Amino acid sequence: MMCLLSDIMQLPFLCVKKLDFILQSRQLTGQFMMHVTASFVIGLITSFPYIFWEIWSFVKPALYKKEQKVASGAVIYVSLLFFIGALFGYYVVAPLSINFLASYQISPEIRNEFDIVSYVSVLATLVVGCAFLFQLPVIVYFLAKIGVVTPKFMRTYRRHAILVIFLIAAVITPSPDIFTQILDGMPILILYEISIGIAANVQRKKIEEEVQL
């Protein structure tokens, strides 16, 4: 799909068919630790709905009935955003980032041969990082509920947020290509705009409840 998008937009860097580097295991426990790390990350991603359900089951009794009703479906929404973020990290951010890092050379005499543990660690960090980054709407929802964040505040500091978002995109995607950074930053920017709508909805409901009282 990325190669198809590359053809449509005439941006060849989006299509990563092969990563041109050699993976090595330089430690006695290298391949074993690769399996351990990969198993842990895959286990975390696949079991995240259950982990969050356990956390939610612990927190839920402390909420009022009305708050429990409002937050119904939290496990579904949080899990969905988590999976979307993980897929975005694995299929978009990771290939572009690893391709840039693997092909970067200060001298043709230096061969790129990477340790398998380093490779898996970078991949896991990008995937899990994006998965948690996509929880922005959920975080804003709860912050808006307790009055820490308001839609006015988010709109006022939108320009600052855009700057921070693309700084984050530049960090998770070390490629200097501006198109790559925009591609990675746009989903986060969209989530920010959705979060403003969520905060506005929470504030409107608070006003309606105060009027009824």
Dist. CA 121–CA 135, nearest whole Å:
22
Stretch 76-105: mean pLDDT: 85
Q: Left if phi > 0, otherwise alpha if psi is -120 to 50, otherwise beta: which for 168?
A: alpha
The segment with the largest mean pLDDT, out of 5-14, 17-26, 35-44, is: 35-44
The chain-wide mean pLDDT, for the chain, equals: 82
Per the structure block, which two tokens stand in for 169?
């995109």
Contact present, 86 and 47 (Cβ < 8 Å): no
Which distant-in-sequence residues (6+ apart) come within 8 Å of 53 by Cβ? Answer: 75
Report the 10 Å Cβ neighbour count for 100. 17
The predicted model scores a pTM of 0.79
Rg (CA), the chain: 21
Q: Per-residue pLDDT for 174 more than 60?
A: no
Is 123 in contact with 33 (CB distance < 8 Å)? Answer: no
List, for residues 39-68, the tens digit of each pLDDT value: 999 999 999 999 998 988 888 887 777 666
Residue 92 pLDDT: 83
